[in-house]
Amino acid sequence: MIKIRKDIETCEGYANCVVAASDVYDLDDDGKVVILRPTVDESERDKVDEAVRSCPTAAIWLEDD
């Protein structure tokens, strides 16, 4: 399993993560990232990696479980 982490203070609401993996990430009413599923299976690594790479503020990252 892959753990998804965030730094809410770093998030600026670009929503690139939502575009890359809308079933994993969303934005709250303040435009900050919300992690809908804090762990994902290895089969989803490509899309969550894309979300991490697309974040211009590095507000999200992955940790292998």
Who wins on pLDDT, 65 or 13?
Answer: 13
What does the pLDDT read at residue 4?
98
Q: What mean pLDDT do residues 31-40 have?
A: 97
Q: Among residues 14, 29, 25, which one has the least CA distance to residue 48?
A: 25
The structure tokens 């979300």 sit at 51
Number of domains into which the chain is organized = 1
Q: What is the CATH number of the domain that holds 26?
A: 3.30.70.20
CA dist., res. 48 & res. 65, Å (int): 15
Predicted confidence band of residue 65 (pLDDT cuts 50, 70, 90)? confident
Helical ranges in the chain per DSSP H: 16-20, 45-54
Quote the pTM value: 0.91
Question: By residue range, what is the domain housing residue 45?
Answer: 2-64
